[in-house]
Structure 1
Amino acid sequence: MAAFLLWLLLLVFCWPLALLALVLYPIVWLICLPFRLVGITVSAVFSFLGAILMLPARVLRGRPA
């Protein structure tokens, strides 16, 4: 809601900049999308490697003495 009100304020005071932001936002979002997907993939790989490396400790901890 605050972002919308700020955009309306920008539209009132500087409408060319507001219209430029409105047009460029989807383009910037599309450019950033591959980097976001790479970040998600790298995070998943690190989580997977951490789970594999911690597996022996989990198995040993779960075994009764």
Structure 2
Amino acid sequence: MNFLLWLILLILCWPLALLALLLWPIVWLLSLPFRLIGISVDALFELLSALLHLPARLLGARGGKR
């Protein structure tokens, strides 16, 4: 889908399409630390949730809907 959108942009405005093609790796590299932070925060919240639900699970509660 992204490739088709890029092809349409290439047909309509080729300098902008080439600029997007050249800047995409730079944007990806700049966003990588934010993705890693997001993964870490998500893992931390999952750990906290597991710790908070541990007493109920030890007492025999069934795992319900999250």
* TM score, norm. by length of structure 2: 0.85
2:47 corresponds to = 48
Q: Give the letter for the 1:24 counterpart.
A: L
Larger Rg over CA atoms: 1
Shift of 1:61: 1.6
Q: Deviations along 1:15-56, whole A, 9 cap, x unmatched?
A: 000000001111001000000000000000110111011100
In the other structure, the counterpart of 2:60 is 61
Unaligned stretches of 5+ residues in structure 2 = 62-66
Unaligned residue ranges in structure 1 (runs of 5+): none
Q: Which deviates more from structure 2 when the two are superposed, residues 38-47 or residues 7-16?
A: 7-16
Count of residue pairs the alignment pairs up:
61
SS, match of residue 60 in structure 2: helix
Residue number in structure 2 paired with 1:13: 12
Q: Kindly, what percent of the aligned residue pairs are identical?
A: 66
Which runs of at least 4 in structure 1 moved beyond 6 Å after TM superposition?
A: none
Q: CA deviation at 1:6?
A: 1.6
RMSD: 1.1
Structure-1-length-normalised TM-score: 0.86
